[in-house]
Amino acid sequence: ILDGPGDMIERMKETRIDWITPNQREFEDLLGRNLESDDLEEEIVSFIEGHSTENILLTLGSKGAIYAGAEGVRHIPAPEVDPVSAVGAGDSAVAGLVLALAHGRDCFSASQWAVAAGAAAVKTPGSHLLKKSDFEALREELCES
């Protein structure tokens, strides 16, 4: 799982990468242009086809995320939370993704866990870690829908 700036991803384009987890700004930087929301899914698929990347989880903050890869392309809406701080939300999303994959979850389900972890992190102040109970409740909400 490569979670880093676009120039790092670009340097790795000849290397097989199982996952990249950019946010929209990082993905746009990687492509070298701004994207409209309507173009995101098409651009992600095009990127996968032109690189050695198997799966992308494009995080979109309060708009959720888009998963693209072996299991197709799907939008994952963000659960409604009262935001306190976005610090650490991206890293928490990656941690949720890793946890789900370690538990043998499929790629789409793992992406839902990632969104739940990111949303749980947003509920905490500053750089505090997410609460397990928040993560579990949000994960359950996302995986039921």
Residue 106 is among the residues annotated as catalytic for this protein: no
- Tell me how far apart the terminal alpha carbons of the chain are, to the nearest angstrom: 26
Catalytic one among 3, 82, 91, 134? 91
Question: Angle 107-122/132-144 helices, nearest 10 degrees?
Answer: 140
Measured between alpha carbons, how far is 86 from 89 in angstroms, rounded to an integer?
Answer: 5
Give me the sheet containing 17-20, strands edge to edge: 17-20, 53-59, 65-69, 72-76
Which positions are catalytic? 91
